[in-house]
Structure 1
Amino acid sequence: MKELIAYILRFGNLNPQQIDFVAEKAKEIVIHKDEYFSEAGKTSRQVGFIVEGITRVCYYNNKGEEITKYFIEENNLVVDLESFDNEIPSTAYVQAITDCRLIVFSKKDWQELLNTIVGWDAIVHKIISKALMLKVERRSPLVSEDATTRYLKFIEIYPTVVNRIPLSYIASYLGITQSSLSRIRKNIR
């Protein structure tokens, strides 16, 4: 819980009663490797904070190929925001790629935080803005680069992730085959 509170306090201030209220609404869960936090076609019903582990956001393209959009590691919120906020079916999967320990809030409890804590909406807005900026920063340099440069940038962007996840997911994220990724890794050692 201290990780979550420290994270929230980076974006705004809470008094001790508000911190207790947040803690009261939070629930800790474990999602095992390969299980889903949220699934395409279903409405996202919770906001999570990753205490331990890594998730990925992925979808299937029109050829049925699995595409990894991005990874979410420790000390970050995880939610399909559009699905959660608008109560519509998600278009992507959020999958645990390692065993994950999360602190989660149900839709009802999240709404209570918004309705009860003065300034909670401002904190949430700052968190979302930062997450969106980070997502763009992480994706933008990968679009026009060659495969080796994309992999080197990936290592730079996700230094704590690269050796903890399957190569197939990294290859999918980079838009290359797994054999190409293996060749690139071999050549840069």
Structure 2
Amino acid sequence: MISTFLTSFNIFSPSEISAFEEKTALRSIKKGEFLIQEGQFCKEVAFLKSGILRSFFSPESGEEITYCITFPNTLTTAYSSFITGAPTVENIQAVSSAELVVVQKADLDLLSQSSLNWTRFLKMIAEQQYLELEKRLFSFQKEKAKKRYMDLLENQPVYVQQIPLQYLASYLGITPRHLSRLRREVTL
């Protein structure tokens, strides 16, 4: 699965992908467990093979704000901590049991020294992350909650049903009550 993901970038040789796979480890986390918690240092990237993860933070009010939901076949990390080496301000938690392929930052750094393709790959991932962030920001400023919900349903119909109402509502920037109304409207 990770090899298919890496092959999709059309920059790696089979030996580069093998070298990467040798540096990975499989990890399972149960529903409710954390990949990383606020205050920890992020030193790894995970490829989500199965399950759903949510990234959230807690402002001073204590309320949890879900700002990212990660679905299978994508990478996840506490990105700012991963880049800066500072403690993370976010939490990444399993919404359902999850299977991950994990690689350490130190190993990615070694791979980058061995081939410019890894540097190109990391640049492409950073660009994708930026575009996703921009798309989400514009979505919040330009679209109504119903459109955001419909887009999510269209792109992840099976998984959306597995996300607890309060997490999904927070992700969409609405109250659970508003989300319940939207769900009723959509099923009519």
Provide the secondary structure at the position in 2 that maps to 1:161: helix
SS across alignment from 2:140: helix
Matches for 1:127-142 after TM superposition, within 5 Å: 127-142=125-140
Matched with 1:95 is 93
Match 1:179 to one of 152, 177, 180: 177
Distance 2:138 2:78 in 1: 21
Q: Which secondary structure state, in structure 2, belongs to the residue aligned with residue 187 of structure 1? A: helix
Counterpart in the other structure of 1:108? 106
Work out whether residues 142 and 153 of structure 1, in 8 Å CA contact, stay in contact via their aligned partners in 2.
Answer: no
1:79 corresponds to which of 77, 80, 105: 77
- Which stretches of structure 1, 4 residues or more, deviate above 6 A after TM superposition? none
Q: In 1, Cα distance between the equivalents of 2:49 and 2:172?
A: 26
Distance 2:97 2:113 in 1: 33
The range that moved more, 178-187 or 89-98, is 178-187
What CA distance in whole angstroms lies between the structure 1 residues aligned with 2:68 and 2:168? 9
Question: Which of 179-188 and 135-144 deviates more?
Answer: 135-144
**Aligned pairs, number:** 187
Note the residue ranges of structure 1 that are not aligned, 5 or more in a row: none
Provide TM-score, normalisation by structure 1.
Answer: 0.90
Task: Deviation per CA, 1:72-103: give whole Å up to 9, x if none.
Answer: 11111111122012110111111111111110
CA distance in 1, matches of 2:77, 2:24: 15
The residue that corresponds to 2:32 in the other structure is 34
Distance 1:123 1:155 in 2: 29
Counterpart residue type for residue 27 of structure 1? A
Distance in 1 between residues matched to 2:99 and 2:56, nearest whole Å = 20
Does the aligned pair in 2 maintain the 1:12–1:123 contact within 8 Å? no
Report the CA distance shift for 1:158/1:142 in structure 2 as closer, same or farther (over 3 A).
Answer: farther
The CA deviation at 1:139 is: 4.1
Distance 1:160 1:134, change over 3 A: farther
Q: Is the 8 A contact 2:6 2:17 kept in 1?
A: no
Corresponding letter in the other structure for 1:171: A
Q: 1:51 touches 1:100 (CA, 8 Å); kept in 2?
A: yes
SS of corresponding position for 2:116: coil
Q: Is the 8 A contact 1:11 1:127 kept in 2?
A: no
The Cα of 1:53 is off from its aligned counterpart by: 1.1
Cα shift at 1:159? 3.2
1:152–1:20 CA distance, 2 compared to 1 (3 A): closer
Note the C-alpha offset of 1:118: 3.1
Q: Which residue of 2 aligns with 1:168?
A: 166
**How many angstroms does 1:7 deviate by?**
1.2
